[in-house]
């Protein structure tokens, strides 16, 4: 009996060899983005009733869709309805959590142009309401992760607005942020930082 996918293509099983059965754990996170790693952590937290934190949906308005066949649709034109705020939000032990995740290939500094004014304003409002808000930064070429509390981000942002440097140096991150050391599960345990800060 032939098995077919919904699009009509035939299913062809892949023969497994001895080498394909062995998983190389040293490369298991290669190609994953910071967002993927945070999503994995959030699934870990939800599965164990630790926290409920999700990626926020992007508010888009679809304008044009093409239907090349009955079984598929392709969005050809869409617009942001409103500027997005931050990437993730949820609740942990009765506390509101709201944060932005950013990556940089830069080895010596995190460019503040990666953060937008409306995101900083949103984080300020969350902070004013006593929510926990922060920036998670990954220096991807160094494989280093930092938890930067909003209070510190705000100082660097204000420095930029008054004509100062337009980035946060790696040494400033080391001094003013908390480094998250990747581990097995979850790989990026950002809630441990919140616990350690006794927020």
The model's pLDDT over 1-34, given as tens digits with 9 standing for 90+, comes to 455 455 555 655 555 444 444 433 333 444 579 9
Domain span at residue 104 reads: 38-56+84-196
Greatest extent of the chain over all pairs of C-alpha atoms, in Å: 71
Q: How many domains does the chain have?
A: 1
Rounded (5°) CA angle 103-109-110: 35
Helix (H) or strand (E) holding 62: strand 60-69
Q: Is 14 within a domain?
A: no
pLDDT (average), residues 79-86: 70
pLDDT at 80: 62
Tell me the C-alpha to C-alpha distance, in Å, between residue 36 and each of 5, 41, 57, 130, 161.
Answer: 27, 9, 15, 27, 32
Each residue of 157-180: pLDDT tens digit? Answer: 999 999 999 999 999 999 999 999
pLDDT at 189: 97
> CATH number, domain at 43?
3.40.1350.10
- 51 token code pair: 């926290």
Record the pTM: 0.76
Q: Is 7 within a domain?
A: no
Each residue of 106-151: pLDDT tens digit? Answer: 999 999 999 999 999 999 999 999 999 999 999 999 999 999 999 9
Q: Is 97 within a domain?
A: yes
Q: Is 68 within a domain?
A: no
Query: In this structure, are strands 167-169 and 72-80 parallel, antiparallel, or unpaired?
Result: unpaired
Q: Is 174 within a domain?
A: yes
Q: Is 13 within a domain?
A: no
CA distance 102 to 168: 13
Please compute, for residue 107, the number of CA atoms within 13 A of its CA located in the half-sphere on the CB side: 2
Q: Is 33 within a domain?
A: no
Q: Is 9 within a domain?
A: no
């Amino acid at each position: 009996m032939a098995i077919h996918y919904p699009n009509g293509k035939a299913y062809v099983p892949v023969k497994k060899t001895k080498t394909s059965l062995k998983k190389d754990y040293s490369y298991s996170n290669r190609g994953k983005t910071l967002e993927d790693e945070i999503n994995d952590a959030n699934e870990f937290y939800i599965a164990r009733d630790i926290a409920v934190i999700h990626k926020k949906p992007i508010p888009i308005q679809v304008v044009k869709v093409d239907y090349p066949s009955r079984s598929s649709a392709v969005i050809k034109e869409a617009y942001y309805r409103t500027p997005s705020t931050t990437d993730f939000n949820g609740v942990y032990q009765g506390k509101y959590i709201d944060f932005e995740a950013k990556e940089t290939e830069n080895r010596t500094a995190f460019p503040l142009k990666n953060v937008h004014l409306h995101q900083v304003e949103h984080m300020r409002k969350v902070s004013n309401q006593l929510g926990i808000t922060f920036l998670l930064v990954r220096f991807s070429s160094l494989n280093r992760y930092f938890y930067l509390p909003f209070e510190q981000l705000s100082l660097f942002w204000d420095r930029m607005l008054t004509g100062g440097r337009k980035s946060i140096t790696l040494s400033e991150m080391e001094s003013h942020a908390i480094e998250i050391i990747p581990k097995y599960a979850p790989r990026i345990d950002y809630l441990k930082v919140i616990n350690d800060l006794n927020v």
